[in-house]
Structure 1
Amino acid sequence: MNLYFLHSSAAPMTKTFSWLPLALCSLALPISISMAPVQAQVPGFCHSPAGAAKAKLKLLRAAIAGDVEAQRAYDRQVAADAQELQQCRSRNWPQNQAIWLRLHECDLEPGVLDTLLDRIVSRGYNQVYVEVFYNGRVLLPAANNPTTWSSEIRNPKYANRDLLAETIKKGRARGLKVYAWMFSLNYGHQYGQRSDRNSVLARNGQGKTSLTLLDYADPNINLDNGDIDRAFVDPYSAQARQDYARMLQAILQRKPDGVLFDYIRYPRQTGGASVSSKLSDLWVFGNSSRQALIDRATNQKGRAVIQHYLQQGSISAGTLKSFDSQYPKEKAALWQGRQVPKGKLPPVGVRTTRLNRDLWLLSVAHAYQGIVDYLSIFATTSMRQGVPAGAAFFPDANRRVGQGYDSRMQPWHRFPKNIEWHAMSYGTCGNTSCIVQQVQRVLQRASGAQVKPVIAGRWGQTYRNRPSLETQMSAIRRVAPQVRTVSHFDFSWQDPQFANARRSCRVTLLPGEDTRQSSISP
C-alpha cells in the first residue's frame, strides 16, 4: 500500500487479565455453589434477579448429577432467558453490552462453562469477546492445532476438546454473540525465542527487540502489567504475516460472530523512552521494515539518501553535496508522498534542513503504515469470510508529544472505517470526565466508523479509582447516545473469587459439605 502523507500526530494501555475457574475435577462431584450474591443487581442494565440465578443453578446441578427432567427444564430456562435478554437489550441502552473474557482449561470440566455463560447472561451481556490468542498460546485443541503456537489446553485428556467451538455453540444458545479476541503484533515470548523466527521481530535503531524492554502497562491504567510476555514482530515481515494468517484461518473455521484484533501497535516504553523523538527510537530496523522503507524511494537519489539516513540518523550538507554529484540528473531525493518545489534548488544548507525533517516524517509515517497495513490485511481476510472485524486501541496512543510521538505509535485514526473501533477508554481521574473525553476524541475522528467504547471496572462500586460501570455508562450515554455497543474489561474483575476458582481448578462445594473449600456464589 502507498504511504499516507504524514503531517504530524501520534500514543497506551494494555489488557491482561485472568478469568479463573470454578472447577469440578470429576463427574462424581456435583457443582455445588453457594447462593449469596457477590454483587448487587443493578437496575436498568438487564441484570437478572438473584433468585432466578439460584433456581437455574439448581437445575444445572441436578442435570449434571444425571436428572434427565432437570436437564430438559434447564435447557428450556436457557432458551427463555435468551429470549428475555434479547427483548431487554432491545428496550435498553446500549443495545449491545459486551464483556471481555479469558477462558481456562478447567472450563472444560462438567458444567463450568455453562455456569460461566449463565453468569454472563444474568448480568445483561449479549456479547462476549473470548480471548483466543495471547501470551504465545492459542485456544485451539492440542490435537488440531496447525499454528506456530502451542495450545492453551494442555491436559492430554482434553486434546480433542475444542473449547472455542463449544463456547460459541453454548453462547449462541444463550443469546450471546461470541467474538474471537486476538493479540496481533505481540506474538509471545516463546515465539521470539525461536531461532527460526528471531529475524522477524521488530527492532529499533539500537538493534534491540521488545524482549529486551521492561514494557509494563501505564501506571495510570494498571491493568495487571500488560506486555509482560511480549515479543512484538515487524509488521512488514512476510514470515510473521504467514504465521498469523494460518492461525486466523483456524480461528475463522470455528465461525465466531466477529474477530477483534488487539495489540495493533508497537511496544509501550516508560520514562523518556515513552516518546519516540529520534530515528533510533522507531521500530523500523527489522529486515523487512528497513527494506520496505528503502523501497519507498521513487528515484536513485532518494534510495541512497534513505539508506544513508538509516545508517547514520541524519544527512549532512557534505553528504548531500556528494549525492548531488553522484546523481546529477536527479535534482531532489524523492519518495512516496514527498513533493519539492519546482525550479532552481535552494542552497544546500536549506535543502539539508528540509531533507532531514522530511526523512524523519517519512520514517514515522512508515512505522505507522506498517500497523495500518497489517491490520487491513487480516481484517479483510476476516470480512471476506463473512466475519466482522474490529480493532482495540487506546484513544491517546496516536498523539504527537512535543517533537516526538507516543512510543506505541498506534494510528487508529488511519484504521479502516469499515471495521469496528473498540476504543479502550480506561482513563483514571477519580470521575468520568477523562473517560468521556477519550470517547469523544475517538468519535470526532471516526468519520462513519462504528465506535464501541471499552471501559473497565465493576458493577455497583468504585474499583481501582474508576467509577462503577453503570456510572461510566450513564456518562457516555449523555454525550454519545448514538453509541450502540459498550464493552467491559473484564469478567474476572467483576467476580474475582469465581475467577480464581476457575483458574486453579478447585472443586467448590456448598458450605457444610466440605469446609476445606471456599464457597462461590452465582
Structure 2
Amino acid sequence: MDCTLHKQLPVSLLGWYRHKWRQKFLLGLLATTSSIGQAFYADATLAQTALSRVDYCQIPLAEATAKNTLRLAAQNGDRNSQAKYNEIVKKHVNFVAQCRQKSWLKNQAIWVRLYPCDTRPGALEEIFDRMVNRGYNQVYVATFYGKALLPRASNRTAWNSVLTSRGTDKTDLLADAIQKGRERGLKVYAWMYSLNFGPEYAVTPEGQSALALNGRGETTLFAGEEGFQRAADGSANSVLFVDPYSNRAKTDYEQLVKEVIARRPDGILFDYIRFPRGQGAQSISGQVRDLWIYGDESRQTLMALAKNSKGSYIIDRYLTNGTITVNDLKEADKLYPLEVEPMWQGRTPLENEANMPYEDKFAWMEWDLWQLTLAHASQGVVNFLQRAATPVEQQRIKSGSVFFPEANQPVGRRGYDSRLQAWDRFTTNEWHPMAYATCNRSDCITNQVRRVLSFAPASTNVIPALAGNWGKPTEGRPSLEEQMDGIHRSLPQINSISHFAFSWQEPEYDYYRSSCQLK
C-alpha cells in the first residue's frame, strides 16, 4: 500500500524479546517441517476466537485448526488427509460465499506481500487458508514495488524479479498465487506501484532520463517524504518517481502490465498514482519550482501548449526563473510585435488586455501560468494511469486506482497538495480510497469515504481501504469492526471494503515469512 503504511506495526520491548526467543525456536522447527510459521498458527487462531461471528463470515476456530492439521498431514504424503483437506477447503469456500451473499459486505479483501519462502510446498495454501478463516473473499497481491513478481527466467521487464534464489528461476509465484487463491474462493488482484518505479530503475542512463525532476534540479530521492527515508533496519525504501510524460517510462510500464495481464488476475490495482508528498511546508506546492514537471519530456509537452511565440517565450521564462516579471512581458512584445498577447491552451485574455499597463496584467498572467503548470502536472498523472489501465480493461479485467482522499485538494489561496493526485478524474472501474484518518473514531474515516462518493461516477465501484486490526484500535484508528460498522451505518451503498494489511493482522507470521531464507 502507498506511503508509510508499508511499515509493520511498532513492536513493543516485550514483543521484541518474544521475537528473539521465538526466532531461535522457529529456526529449529523449520529444519523438521516445510510449513513456515507453523508455530504461530495456534496464536493466530486463538486471537480469532472472539471474532468468530457469523456476520463477519469467519470460520470457527475448531474447523480452522482441523483444516491446518489436515494440510500438514497431506503435505507429508498422507493421501487420506489430502482428500479430507480438499473436502474441508471446499466446505469453507461454500460457507464464505454463502455468508457474503447474505451479508451487507459482499466483498472483504486484504492486502498482502509474498516472499521467496512462500514458494515452499504448502506455503501459499497456508497463507490463503488463514485469509479464508477470517472471512476474506478477495486478496490484493503485491506484484510490483520496484521489483516484479515474475519468473526471472522469462522476465522481459525493466525490473529485477522478486525471486532470485537458486532453483526459483522458473517459479511463477504470481500465477501460483492466483491458482491457489481461486481454489479457496478468493478473487486475486495484482497490486502494482505506478509512478513509483523504485531506485533500481535509475541505474541506466535511459532510466535516469525518465525520472521526475523539480525546478531545483532534484529527483524524488530528495523529496523529503517519510517514505523516502531509510527504514528502521537501515535498508533503503524502494521509492523513486518517474516523469509521467516520459515515453521510456510509459513503454517500460506498459510491458510490465502486459506481463501481469498474461497471468489473468481478477483485477489490477494501480497504486502510487501521484507525486511525492514533502514534509512540513513542502507538503504544499505553492510555486512552479515545487512541481515535478522539469523532466525533458514533461517540459517539452508543456511548451507545446503555447499557441503563439509570445506564449512560448513567457512559459519558458516562467519555468526557468520560477516567476515572470514586467520586463519579461515587455521583452515578449519587442520580440514578437505582430502578436497581440501571450497565448497558451486554456487561456482567455482579459477584456482589453492588450491596452492594459504591464503592471496591471502581470499578476493576472502569472496566475494563469500557475494554473497552467498545475494542470499540466496533474494531467500527466491522469494520462499515465489511463494508458496503463486501458489494456487491462480491454481484456475484461477489473482496473482499480488507489489514492488518498485528500490528495487532490487546494490549500490556501494558491497552494495545492504536493501529491497532485487528481483522483476525481481517474477513469478506472474501481476506486480504492485509502481512508486512513486517525482521530480515534470512525467518523473521520467515514467522512473521507463520503467525500470520495460525492465525486464518483455512477459506473465506478468505490471500495474503501481501511488500515487497522481486528478487535483492537491501531495507531489512532478504531478496530476494523468499528470502522466497517461506521461506514455501513452512514454509507449503506458501500458493499465492498479492503483491509491493510495481512502483515498487521499476523505480524509474527509475516516476520518469519519475510526473514526466512531459501537454501
Change (3 A) 1:55 1:462: same
Preserved contact between residue 216 and residue 228 of structure 1 (Cα < 8 Å) = no
For the pair 1:309 / 2:332, whether they are aligned, the reply is no
Change (3 A) 1:344 1:155: closer
> Aligned match of 1:79 in 72, 85, 90?
90
Change (3 A) 1:384 1:491: same
Pairs aligned (count): 492
> Aligned match of 1:286 in 288, 295, 305?
295
**Residue 120 of structure 1: how far off its partner (Å):** 0.4
Residue in 2 that maps onto 1:182: 192
Change (3 A) 1:131 1:109: same
Change (3 A) 1:175 1:224: farther
Partner secondary structure for residue 191 of structure 2: strand
Residue in 1 that maps onto 2:419: 408
**Residue 253 of structure 1: how far off its partner (Å):** 0.5
Gaps spanning 5+ residues in structure 2: where? 10-18
> Aligned match of 1:151 in 137, 154, 161?
161
Change (3 A) 1:83 1:310: same
Q: Pick the structure with more helix per residue.
A: 2
Partner secondary structure for residue 188 of structure 2: strand
Residue in 1 that maps onto 2:208: 198
After superposition, what is the alpha-carbon deviation per residue over 1:299-340, rounded to whole angstroms, capped at 9, x for unaligned? 222111111111112222222122123222321211111112
Aligned partner letter, 2:94: Q
Preserved contact between residue 124 and residue 177 of structure 2 (Cα < 8 Å) = yes
For the pair 1:300 / 2:309, whether they are aligned, the reply is yes
Partner secondary structure for residue 56 of structure 2: coil
After superposition, what is the alpha-carbon deviation per residue over 1:115-170, rounded to whole angstroms, capped at 9, x for unaligned? 10000011011110000001x21101111211111110111111111110001011
Residue in 1 that maps onto 2:503: 492
Change (3 A) 1:70 1:250: same
Aligned partner letter, 2:102: R
Preserved contact between residue 402 and residue 433 of structure 2 (Cα < 8 Å) = yes
For the pair 1:16 / 2:6, whether they are aligned, the reply is yes
Change (3 A) 1:54 1:287: same
After superposition, what is the alpha-carbon deviation per residue over 1:361-402, rounded to whole angstroms, capped at 9, x for unaligned? 101111010100001111112111111111100011111111
**Residue 229 of structure 1: how far off its partner (Å):** 2.4
Preserved contact between residue 16 and residue 223 of structure 1 (Cα < 8 Å) = no
Distance of 1:227 and 1:92 partners within structure 2: 42
Distance of 1:217 and 1:506 partners within structure 2: 26
Residue in 2 that maps onto 1:96: 107
For the pair 1:119 / 2:130, whether they are aligned, the reply is yes
Residue in 1 that maps onto 2:12: none
Partner secondary structure for residue 333 of structure 1: coil
> Aligned match of 1:457 in 444, 468, 473?
468
Aligned partner letter, 1:490: A
Aligned partner letter, 2:380: G
Aligned partner letter, 1:107: D
Partner secondary structure for residue 310 of structure 2: helix
**Residue 406 of structure 1: how far off its partner (Å):** 1.1
For the pair 1:366 / 2:382, whether they are aligned, the reply is no
Change (3 A) 1:29 1:375: closer
Distance of 1:85 and 1:110 partners within structure 2: 25
Q: Pick 1 or 2: higher relative contact order, CA cutoff 8 A, min separation 6.
A: 1
Preserved contact between residue 206 and residue 248 of structure 2 (Cα < 8 Å) = no
Q: Note the 1:122-521 alignment, pairs <5 A.
A: 122-134=133-145, 136-217=146-227, 228-341=237-350, 343=352, 345=354, 346-402=356-412, 403-416=414-427, 418-448=428-458, 449-505=460-516
After superposition, what is the alpha-carbon deviation per residue over 1:192-236, rounded to whole angstroms, capped at 9, x for unaligned? 2333311111011011001123321599xx999999321100000
TM-score of the superposed pair, with normalisation by structure 2: 0.90
Aligned partner letter, 1:188: G
**Residue 344 of structure 1: how far off its partner (Å):** 5.9
Preserved contact between residue 307 and residue 344 of structure 2 (Cα < 8 Å) = yes
Residue in 2 that maps onto 1:7: none
Distance of 2:114 and 2:235 partners within structure 1: 17
Residue in 1 that maps onto 2:47: 38
**Residue 439 of structure 1: how far off its partner (Å):** 0.8
**Residue 183 of structure 1: how far off its partner (Å):** 0.5
Distance of 2:70 and 2:504 partners within structure 1: 27
Gaps spanning 5+ residues in structure 1: where? 1-11, 508-522
**Residue 29 of structure 1: how far off its partner (Å):** 5.0
Preserved contact between residue 104 and residue 503 of structure 1 (Cα < 8 Å) = yes
Change (3 A) 1:224 1:180: farther
Aligned partner letter, 2:252: D
Preserved contact between residue 405 and residue 451 of structure 2 (Cα < 8 Å) = yes
Change (3 A) 1:30 1:267: closer
Distance of 1:288 and 1:366 partners within structure 2: 12
Partner secondary structure for residue 97 of structure 1: strand
Partner secondary structure for residue 421 of structure 1: strand
**Residue 13 of structure 1: how far off its partner (Å):** 4.6
Distance of 2:417 and 2:501 partners within structure 1: 26
Preserved contact between residue 57 and residue 115 of structure 1 (Cα < 8 Å) = yes
Distance of 1:226 and 1:337 partners within structure 2: 45
**Residue 268 of structure 1: how far off its partner (Å):** 1.3
**Residue 486 of structure 1: how far off its partner (Å):** 0.4
Preserved contact between residue 273 and residue 385 of structure 2 (Cα < 8 Å) = yes
After superposition, what is the alpha-carbon deviation per residue over 1:31-81, rounded to whole angstroms, capped at 9, x for unaligned? 754534133324211011010101101110110110112112211221221
Partner secondary structure for residue 137 of structure 1: coil
Distance of 2:181 and 2:144 partners within structure 1: 19
Change (3 A) 1:499 1:277: same
Partner secondary structure for residue 185 of structure 1: coil
Preserved contact between residue 217 and residue 225 of structure 1 (Cα < 8 Å) = no
Change (3 A) 1:408 1:498: same
Partner secondary structure for residue 6 of structure 2: coil
Change (3 A) 1:13 1:433: farther
